[in-house]
Amino acid sequence: MKQKHTLNINSLCASCYEKCKQKDLVLIITCPFYDPFPVQLELKFKGLRKKPKNK
C-alpha cells in the first residue's frame, strides 16, 4: 500500500486513516482518533540462496 503524503498535512496525520487531517504547522502530541495505515514488514533470512547449488 502506498501512503499519500502531501506537503501541507502533519506527518502524524499523513499516516492515519481518519479524515481529521491537520496542517503541518500544528504541533500534535497525541491524537485520540489515530488509526495508522498497516505496514508490511519484510523478513530477511541469511543463508537462503536465490539459485540452487550445482551438483
Domain ranges of the chain: 1-37
> In Å, what is the CA distance from 5 to each residue of 14, 16, 29, 36, 43?
6, 11, 19, 13, 26
> What pLDDT, on the 0 to 100 scale, is given for residue 44?
81
Residues of the chain with confidence (pLDDT) below 70:
1-7, 48-50, 52-53, 55
> What pLDDT, on the 0 to 100 scale, is given for residue 33?
93
Round to whole Å and give the CA distance between 3 and 40: 12
> In Å, what is the CA distance from 26 to each residue of 1, 10, 11, 15, 23?
26, 7, 10, 15, 6
> What pLDDT, on the 0 to 100 scale, is given for residue 54?
72
Q: Residues near 6 by Cβ (< 8 Å), separated by ≥ 6?
A: 14
Residue at 36: amino acid letter: P
